[in-house]
Amino acid sequence: MLVDHQRGAPLAGSVTETLEELATIGQSPRGGTTRVAWSNELFRAYDWIGERMRELGLDVEVDPAGNLVGRWNVGTGKAIGTGSHLDTVPSGGRLDGAFGVVGALHAIALLHAEGFTPSRPLWVIAFMDEEGTRFNTALFGSQAFTGGPLADFADRADAEGTTLRSAMAGVGRDVERAGDAQSTDQLAAFLEMHIEQGPLLESEGLDIGVVTSIVGLRGYRVHLYGQANHAGTTPTRLRRDALAGAARVVLELREFARSRPDVTANVGKIAVEPGGANVIPGVADFTIDVRAATPDAVEELDRVVESTVARIAHDEQLDYGLERTFSLDPLELDATMVDTVERAAVAEGARWRRMPSGAGHDAMLVGRHVPTGMIFVPSRGGISHSPEEYTSPDQLELGTRVLAAALRDLLRTGG
């Protein structure tokens, strides 16, 4: 059990310096940082961030779903939550997710420096497995935190065949107890800061995005089954080529997305069997990620994915399996929280605009249970999920000051 400190030591270094040091944990030989869910690298990052939390006087725990939570236990009533995630995509950038956690710690340091004492508790949360890279279980930690269904996740396996159940057991966690992490009834509000992961703020010369809504998402895993055969002796017209079918699905979904505003479609993972250079692929296993800004558009995407896979499988004489792996409807963020972020941006002299988020975030689950807001800072070139991900030190510091101002506003009144 940790000692309860109301105020700790200042956080050493700048936001950028903290992020750079954190990025060395899981640094990839190919460049970037790799910290996938339930990995040694991710828990090393937890340990490192946990120490920074303790330096600030926070009580630290890893909850039953693997979420890292630091609590500033002062004041009365329900807590204000802030944070993001520390897991990454393979060879990812140093900012995605991590900035929301590191920036929150530096925001607390700013509040400490000015002698501010909250009237209610403040929690900093690093949610487990926001990215879903390893087990196709995106937003697992925030799903557990908000009391969402988890049963379908337990036996999903990574590329080496390790199941989520097994990976959790390896670090002393029971997937059947992950739901014990449910804590939204202890929050009064939640605020997530993040890089934009798009080009809008940079293109308009702005400092801060005041997020008003978050896009809806659907994820699928598709299996196409044809017949493996000799590539040199089987006439093209007689082939049941699973990869050819997958290629048609990829291109048709791309063309559909191009024909609609605010719609995207992506196939990011694909594997074929048996994998010989002179063998017709008998199996194609791939993912589909589709997104849209409105509920009607998301429902249309559902129908399009299902009908496209079924039609192409029929045309190519393939059997198929289609599994929906995640489903999240668009979310309008709380109007009061949007106004709070806007006031904070104005108070810090930032150039800002209201805007939607085209990426999914933990906030989109938390925001279905408590008032939630989001702060964006610019991404150079709109690049994210890449070692080339970059936001200038000045923009990171300004975003952190805006977060501190918004938290100060939210923390003034207990209850």
Number of structural domains the chain divides into: 2
Note whether 289 and 343 are same-domain residues: no
Query: Which residue in this structure is represented by tokens 């991710």?
Result: 42
Q: Fill in the DSSP letter of residue 76.
A: S
Angle at 74 between CA 56 and CA 80, to 5 degrees: 85
Note whether 128 and 156 are same-domain residues: yes
Note whether 323 and 357 are same-domain residues: no
Note whether 77 and 166 are same-domain residues: yes
Last residue of some domain: 280, 312, 328? 328
| Domain enclosing residue 242, as ranges | 216-328
Note whether 396 and 258 are same-domain residues: no
Residue 208: name the closest of 401, 407, 415 by CA.
Answer: 401
Residue 199 maps to a domain: yes
Last residue of some domain: 328, 350, 384? 328
Task: Tell me the pLDDT tens digit for each residue of 296-325.
Answer: 999 999 999 999 999 999 999 999 999 998
Note whether 71 and 184 are same-domain residues: yes
Q: Point out the least confidently predicted range of 4-8, 82-86, 251-255.
A: 4-8
Domain holding 301: CATH number? 3.30.70.360
Residue type, 46: Y
Check residue 414 and give its pLDDT: 66
Domain holding 176: CATH number? 3.40.630.10
Task: Tell me the pLDDT tens digit for each residue of 231-270.
Answer: 999 999 999 999 999 999 999 999 999 999 889 999 999 9
Last residue of some domain: 279, 301, 328? 328
Residue 394 maps to a domain: yes
Contacts of residue 319, Cβ cutoff 8 Å, sequence gap at least 6:
224, 225, 226, 313
Note whether 295 and 206 are same-domain residues: no
Residue 284 maps to a domain: yes
User: What is the band of 30 on the pLDDT scale with cuts at 50, 70, 90?
Assistant: confident
Task: Tell me the pLDDT tens digit for each residue of 38-62.
Answer: 999 999 999 999 999 999 999 999 9
Note whether 142 and 109 are same-domain residues: yes
Helix and strand counts by DSSP (H, E) for the chain: 11, 16
Note whether 273 and 403 are same-domain residues: no
HSE-CB for 29 with a 13 A CA cutoff = 0
371 Rama sector, left if φ>0, alpha if ψ -120 to 50, beta otherwise: beta
